[in-house]
Each structure stands twice: as C-alpha cells, then as structure tokens.
Structure 1
Amino acid sequence: MDNVTPLGGEVYEIDTRMAGFSGITAGYLILGDRPCLVETGTSTSAPVVRDALTSLGVGPDDLATVVVTHIHLDHAGGVGDIAGFYPSAEVVVHQKGARHLADPTVLMASAKKVWGDRLDTLFGTLSPTEASRIRALDDSDSIDLGGGRTLSSHYSPGHAKHHVGLLDSATGDLYVGDAAGVYLPQTGDVRPATPPPDFDLRTALNSVSLFKDLGPQRLLFSHYGPVSDVSEILDRSAEELRVWVDLTRQAHAQGMDLDHAVAMVGEKTRQRYAAPAPEDAETVRQMEMISGVPFNVAGILHWLDRAEPSSG
C-alpha cells in the first residue's frame, strides 16, 4: 500500500490520511511476536489503518496491543473503532487518559468547543472502549512486545498531562507523540506544540530533556515520521519552545489580546522556518491547521495567565 513505509526492525509507518490528506499524522505498527499499533489516528482514519494492517498480514485476532502517546483526537480518536476491529487487542494509555477512552463524553464536548463545525471533518467521533480492555500505565511502565522485546513508557507531560513517550528496547526508537513538537520532513524544521489547557514550559522542557537522556537511536514523530538526528532535533525542540514562549510573553506583557499576539508571534517566527517546496505547501498548510500559531499562542497565554498573573 502506498501509505505504508517499512522503517526496519519490523516497524512500519502508516500514513493515517487524516481528513483525507497525506503526511499529517502517522501511526506505527511494530510487527513482532505480539503486534502493537502505536497511535490510531482519528476515528475517520480507522478504516485506513485497518487496511494497512491487513496488507501487513495482521488479521482481526492478531493485533495484541494498541497504545497511544496521549488522548488528543488526532492520536487516539480511532481507539474505539480499532478496538472494535481487533477484539483481542489490549488498549494502553497513561492513567490520566484512561477514563476518557472508556467514556469520551467530556473529551468530545471539549473538542467540539475548540473545533466547532470542523470537528466531524477533521476527527470524527471517538467511540468508547470497554473499560475491561483498557490498561492504564503508571508514570514508568512497560508493554510486552513478545520475544523479550518491550516498549517502555516514560511520562512526558508539558504538551498534555496524559502524555507518554515510548522506547522500543529492540530498535532504540522513541515514539515522541507531540512532546517534542511537530517535525516537518518537507523542510527539516521542528516546531512547538503548545495547545491549551495543559502546556507548561518547565514541564515541557523537562520532557524533552528526558527524551535526550533516554539515548534513543531514532525519533518517531506522530507529526511526522522518523528522524535520525536525535540530539540536533531535540535541542531545536527546546530552543523553539523558549523562543515561542519569550515572544508570547512579550505580547502578554504588552496587554495584547489573542488575535494581536498571534499576529505578532506569527510574524516574528516565520523567518525561523524554511519555505516548503511548492509541491509540499499544501501538506504544510494542513499541518498548520492542527498545530499552528493560534493554538500554540493560546496555550502559552493560558499558561502565562497561571504562571505569571502579574504580567499585562
């Protein structure tokens, strides 16, 4: 299939074709003794992911585990559907997110407030998963991939309080979710992902530092794809966090409202990133839609209002 890319070590990248576009959100299949899907993508992507797994020889009773780095709908919106397709699979998520997969009512209501009429088109509806099938991870935990191979989970909030990174003992691959930001393979840039309501600068920087200390061989971004320049990209991730926070803090101190802060930060940061080639421009625009300047600035302002209430 043209949306499946072998990455070595029995790992396959799956383009989930979020909202019909390519190169926005990736899931990953670890095809070992106990096949494991990392990230489901959205609900509307679930049939795409199922077809990809079928093409790799994974039938309805073969998938052992579905694990998500966090419960945002572009990563976990398809959990309920995938759980239905694969009745033997255990669903694994950090303990702070588990109840929302069992009962998505609050999560979907919150998403509706953010996305409005675009919710159905972009994400669809997260279906509930039977609580008995959900395994809640502690801050440090392990997932059995069979044959002595494990995915160790590492609590990495900052982007979201229910976020974990996942390290493959066999390959050294680290599934970073959104905690290291959004990687743009079209330009080689990495940009922050700082949405409300959970963003916290110190916690986010600590998560990036933790990822570096784990010594991964490769980073597998949900947005988007594999990166071998581990140290360079993680350093850039931390740098971008600091730059965006400093700029947003300036806007906050000047009493700017959200729209003016977004305009200022957007203008000031634009020069930090390479312009995509014409054939890549649409993909980059779509990525901007799910992790763009307005969401990043809104998340930082939300944090500043709590952390530095005397400003402005």
Structure 2
Amino acid sequence: MKQVEKLGERLFLIDDFDLKLEERTGTYILLDEQVTIIETCASPSLPYILQGLKELDIKPDQVAYIIVTHVHLDHAGAAGLLMEHCKHAKLIVHPRGSRHMIDPAKLIKGAQAVYGNQFDELFHPIVPVPEERVISVQDGYTLHISADRTLTFYDTPGHAKHHISIHDSLTNGMFTGDTIGVYYRDLQQYNVEFYLPTTSPSQFDPDEMLHSMYRIRQLNPDFIYFGHYGKSSNPQEVYEHMETWLPIFLSAAQDVFSHETNPASMASAASNRLFTTVRAYLTERGVPEDAKAYKALQIDMDICAMGLVDYLQRQDK
C-alpha cells in the first residue's frame, strides 16, 4: 500500500495510519508556490506525515500553511507538533476552534471523557500552537497559494460548530473534513460505493449538517476530499447517501432513547442497531463478513451513537 498517493494536479494524499488502520485518516498536501497541508490527524501519525513530505521532496520549513477543518483530535491533534517542525507555517482554523489550538486543555479533557484509558495511546501529546501563528478564517475567506490556485473557506457546521470546508479552485474540489460524512473507500473492491454521516459528540446537529451539505452541493464541486478517507469523484452519490442514512441514524437512536434510561446503555444499544443495519445493507451488496472495513465501521458506529444520544439529550431538555 502506497503511503503517498497523487489525487490531482499538485494534490497528494498521505495515509496517516490513524488507529493503525490503512486508509482511515488522511493528510492532503497542496504542492504549490506556498506549500499547504490540510488535516494533521493525531500526534501518533506525525511520523507518517513527515515521511510523506520527505517522499514528496518537501522540507518542513517550506510549508506555508497548515489547515484543519475542525479541532477534533483525529483532524487537528498533531497540529502543534507539526508546527514545531514547520517553523514558518501558519495554522488556519475556524474562529470557534482557534482558542482550542492555542490552549488545548478543554480539548484534551473532552477527548479523555470519550476515550478514557485509550487517550494517551491515541492522542498524546497535544501541543499548544503559539497565538501569533494562528489565523482564524471567517466564511468566504480566500487564500491564494499560487497564481492559479485559490482556496475559499466556508463555515459548515453540523458535525461540529467549529467546522470549515475548503474549496480548491484548481481541481474544483471540496475538502469537507467530516461535514458530509465518511467515505469507506476500501469497499470499492467489492463494487460498493459507500458513505455514512459522522455524528460524533458533542456538537452534532442534523439540521445544520444537511444545510451545510446543501451549501456544498450548490457550489457544484467535481470532487469531495474526505478526512476519512480520500477522493470521491461522485459527489451526487455522497449527497444521496447522506440524505438516506442520516434519518436512519436518527430513527435508530430515537427508538433506543425511548426505551433506555442510562446514557451508556443507550449508546451501546444504538451502536449495535446501527452496525447491524449497516452490515445487512453491505451483505446484500456482496460485501463479505471478514471485510476489513468492518473494523473502522464498528469504531464509527460507537462514536456516532454517542453523538446521537448526546444530541437527543440536548433536545430533551
């Protein structure tokens, strides 16, 4: 499996081997006059990013910008460490996320609440970014990184309030982080194209998620570049899967919510229901039971279920 993959003109994808899984989380490299990195994954992935830069013959000092779509640690956890290597780079982040990059204490506490004893293995260390190196971007902000490439930033809440998506003028593609879901690219080997929403805690909002998706669709991109994982050349299929699966996720969680009283039991029951539903869907389409995608899917359903329960609890107050 190649760690560095060319996706388009001056656009490359580094496999971060997040959670020790191939094609789980990616870092994008825009090899332009001002070298730009999009997404940093978590700190244990830093060696893979540095190795990927080396394979592309990029010295860390050449990096001008590091962009994170949002500050969840699987997208931004390694930002501080990477900035220490990329001494001339500025970090670009949503205004709601900038303070967490400068002082990650709350970010760490929140992740510890979700991941418990696994936190250190998955995310340690999380290094603060100096305030003078952070750029907070408002909706519509543009960044010219070469004569023929402009990045335009869009406020796209739903997965998180501190989420931006980025339009790339050169490829007419959108870097969407987690706003419009996860792409299980590995399933293409079974001729199954599959996308699911990601509803992780603690700011998931289905209405905002759909609104952000409609906004992206109106921009008519040719490609979607997912944080998890890689490039889709079929945006219409992405939108259709989002519109199909988001109500299924909500319905499963609401049914559990009406019968359970303990939040942990709710999340466990919702995860089991979601995983069973997804597995049945994929089995009908010829995906074998031992497909490696199921490992990532089980992790995702656990986290999605937590976010769904959290959302329903907020609505119930």
> For the superposition of Structure 1 and Structure 2, which TM-score range results when normalised by the shorter chain?
over 0.9
What displacement does 1:288 show?
A: 3.3
* Residue 276 of structure 2 is aligned to residue 267 of structure 1: yes
Tell me what 2:242 maps to.
237
Query: What is the correspondence of 1:143-162 to structure 2 with a 5 Å cutoff?
Result: 143-162=143-162
CA spacing shift, 1:287–1:90, aligned 2, 3 Å: farther
Tell me what 2:301 maps to.
293
- Work out whether residues 219 and 228 of structure 1, in 8 Å CA contact, stay in contact via their aligned partners in 2: yes
Tell me what 1:100 maps to.
100
Tell me what 1:66 maps to.
66
- Work out whether residues 275 and 298 of structure 2, in 8 Å CA contact, stay in contact via their aligned partners in 1: no
Tell me what 1:5 maps to.
5
Equivalents in 1 of 2:165, 2:212: separation in Å? Answer: 9
CA spacing shift, 1:23–1:203, aligned 2, 3 Å: same
Query: What is the correspondence of 1:182-197 to structure 2 with a 5 Å cutoff?
Result: 182-187=182-187, 188-197=193-202
In structure 2, which of residues 225, 250, 253 is the aligned counterpart of residue 248 of structure 1? 253
- Work out whether residues 16 and 41 of structure 2, in 8 Å CA contact, stay in contact via their aligned partners in 1: yes
**Superimposed CA distance per residue, residues 244-275 of structure 1 (whole angstroms, 9 cap, x where no aligned partner):** 11221222233464133333343334323356
* Residue 207 of structure 2 is aligned to residue 207 of structure 1: no
- Work out whether residues 19 and 121 of structure 1, in 8 Å CA contact, stay in contact via their aligned partners in 2: no
Tell me what 1:136 maps to.
136
- Work out whether residues 19 and 123 of structure 1, in 8 Å CA contact, stay in contact via their aligned partners in 2: no
**Superimposed CA distance per residue, residues 15-51 of structure 1 (whole angstroms, 9 cap, x where no aligned partner):** 0111333111011001011110000111111121011
* Residue 227 of structure 2 is aligned to residue 222 of structure 1: yes
Tell me what 1:117 maps to.
117
**Aligned Cα RMSD in Å?**
1.9
TM-score norm. by structure 2 comes to: 0.91
Runs of 4+ with deviation above 4 angstroms: 274-280
**1:267 is aligned with what amino acid?**
T
Equivalents in 2 of 1:279, 1:296: separation in Å? Answer: 22
Tell me what 2:55 maps to.
55
* Residue 169 of structure 2 is aligned to residue 169 of structure 1: yes
CA spacing shift, 1:17–1:271, aligned 2, 3 Å: same
**Superimposed CA distance per residue, residues 179-227 of structure 1 (whole angstroms, 9 cap, x where no aligned partner):** 1111101222111210111011100111111111111110111111110
TM-score norm. by structure 1 comes to: 0.92
**2:142 is aligned with what amino acid?**
S
Matched residue of 2:154: which SS?
A: strand
Unaligned runs of 5+ in 1: none
How many pairs are equivalent?
306
**Superimposed CA distance per residue, residues 87-133 of structure 1 (whole angstroms, 9 cap, x where no aligned partner):** 01110000000011111111011111111121122222221111100
Equivalents in 2 of 1:287, 1:48: separation in Å? Answer: 23
Deviates more, 1:179-188 or 1:126-135: 179-188
